[in-house]
Amino acid sequence: MLTQRRQFLRAAAAGGVAYAFGRTAGTIQAQMSAVGGFPDYKALVCLFLFGGNDSWNMFVPTSTAEFNAYYKARSGGTAASIAIEKSALLSVTQAGQVAGDPTYGFHPSLGGARDLFAAGKLAVVANVGPLVKPTTKAQYTTASTTGHPLPPQLFSHNDQQDQWHSLRAKAVVRSGWAGRIADVMNAQVGGQQLAVNLSLSGQTFFQAGDVVTPFVMGSTGATTFTGFGTTGTALGRRNAVQTVLSSATGSSTNTMYERAQAQVTQRAVQYADRINTALAGSYNFAALPNTGVALSALATQLRTVAKMIAVRSQLSMTRQIFFVSIGGFDLHDNLNSQHPGLLSQIGDGVKSFYSALAEIGMEQSVTLFTQSDFARTLTSNGDGSDHAWGGVQFVAGGAVRGGRVYGQYPLIEIGAAQDVGAGRLIPTTSADQYAATLANWFGVQDADLAKIAPSLANFSQRNLGFMV
């Protein structure tokens, strides 16, 4: 039995589908019956910044007192400086800003993000991160004796990625919050030809559901099976495999693992056909062209997402959650030399993606948001920064109340109220609040938000207000 299980899991991974047990009989029935339904289309696009983005350099206070604190905390003016010079920052004015309000600027490599912010299409969420309950420095310091709940294994890459993906706190769960959104919407998306959750960047905890199954595709389309074709021997081989899979799926003598493996493989073949057939005739975006411009790896993923949105009607899609990513942010060294290039990919990619959606009139229906393992320490280690906690995230789209900062932007100062050491700042906004705000816009009913964000009840503000 153990051998069968291992073979099944390997086959599931090879088919590009994670958590294959999620496709239960109830799921299949819901997919066939199309109960309920949505009258419109909406998509969420999660842009994950792997490695822990030094987000305190993405969006920097420019008010005199606040900037001076930031500059000192980041060793500005010394050989170990990781601060951005004030003259280099791309200054912005918040919507509704009045005299005396703090002012801010974007990193000089984030011109695209600055432009969207100025146009009211991008919002900044400040000092957000995994939290179980609101936490003060005193509660953090005494948590081991008082029992105040903290996210487990703080400052660890894998653990904090899982916290962002799942919002699980210390609970043992197998689903991510995007997967749980798909679970609660299951009956309403039964007519869709594809899963709600599609990853263009590998298997991810974020999209795994308890009931439904995500699909993993490549950055330019779905991965096809080697040896399959539409003519001759390749077509015969494909038909023969399909016959075997159909027989295995319906067999009462096969084990549950054999039937599940057959279902996963069959689904992978069908999804690859549907996706690649649809993409073959998809829109060629001026903002993210097919030829003539060398796109970054991130922009390539975003172009494919835009193409998938362009063919949504062909695939009967009403709700989709896409996962894209960019890595390289674990910059203990070379922060000043490597971080600008990464941020440039984000700023340019997100702006081009928004422009591509505007070409097909879908900018109001799609919201992109960032997540990352954690932010970085305010202090410099000489050439970089170390693992920390709360940080800055971006949300972009036509339905975003942009040009504003949401949450409490902290004082960037060593020893400040939220600093638990070396400029590791306790979040003042929780990842649960962030996720719940996005989920509510996406169509999750208020009564179901606790299923998506289990710690939401511990916070007085359920919706952060950055979505229309």
Q: What's the pLDDT score for residue 311? A: 98
Q: What's the pLDDT score for residue 268? A: 85
Which of 10, 26, 29 shows the shortest CA–CA distance to 18? 10
Cα 312 to chain centroid distance, Å, stands at 20
Which of 136, 160, 315, 305 shows the shortest CA–CA distance to 219? 305
pLDDT tier for residue 227 given thresholds of 50, 70 and 90? confident
Q: φ, ψ for residue 387 (rounded to 5)? A: -65, 135
Four-residue CA torsion sign, 422, 423, 429, 435: negative
Tokens coding 346: 């984000």
Contact 258, 248 (CB under 8 A): yes
Share of the chain above pLDDT 90, in %: 82
Q: φ, ψ for residue 369 (rounded to 5)? A: -140, 150
Four-residue CA torsion sign, 456, 164, 419, 336: negative
Four-residue CA torsion sign, 83, 89, 91, 95: negative
Q: What's the pLDDT score for residue 248? A: 81
Rg (C-alpha) for the chain, rounded Å, is 23
Four-residue CA torsion sign, 31, 36, 38, 39: positive
Give me the chain's average pLDDT, please.
91
On the CB side of 348, how many CA atoms lie within 13 Å of its CA? 16
Which of 391, 387, 458 shows the shortest CA–CA distance to 418? 391
Q: What's the pLDDT score for residue 20? A: 35
DSSP 331: -
Does 304 score more than 90 pLDDT?
yes
Q: What's the pLDDT score for residue 32? A: 36
Structure confidence by residue, pLDDT tens digits, 392-401: 999 999 999 9
Number of neighbours of residue 242 by Cβ within 10 angstroms: 15
Contact 417, 140 (CB under 8 A): no
Q: Give me the residue spans of the domains in the chain.
A: 2-218+295-305+319-458
pLDDT tier for residue 374 given thresholds of 50, 70 and 90? very high
Q: CA dist 54 to 58, 200, 392, 417, 467, Å?
A: 7, 24, 9, 20, 25
Q: What's the pLDDT score for residue 13? A: 38
Q: What's the pLDDT score for residue 36? A: 57
pLDDT tier for residue 16 given thresholds of 50, 70 and 90? very low
2-218+295-305+319-458 folds as Alkaline Phosphatase, subunit A (3.40.720)
Q: What's the pLDDT score for residue 295? A: 98
Contact 165, 130 (CB under 8 A): no
- Flag the least confident range among 56-70, 83-97, 215-229, 239-253: 239-253
Does 27 score more than 70 pLDDT?
no
Contact 401, 356 (CB under 8 A): no
- Residues across the chain: 468
pTM reported for the whole predicted model: 0.91
CA pair distance 193, 434, nearest whole angstrom: 29
**Contacts with 413 (C-beta within 8 Å, 6 or more apart), sequence order:** 69, 70, 72, 73, 378, 419
Work out the average pLDDT over 229-233. Answer: 87
Work out the average pLDDT over 92-117. Answer: 97
Report the DSSP beta bridge partners of residue 20.
none
Structure confidence by residue, pLDDT tens digits, 166-223: 999 999 999 999 999 999 999 999 999 999 999 999 999 999 999 999 999 999 999 8
On the CB side of 176, how many CA atoms lie within 13 Å of its CA? 23
Q: CA dist 212 to 195, 197, 215, 249, 366, Å?
A: 8, 9, 10, 18, 22
Does 30 score more than 90 pLDDT?
no
Does 251 score more than 90 pLDDT?
no
CA pair distance 78, 350, nearest whole angstrom: 33
Contact 404, 124 (CB under 8 A): yes
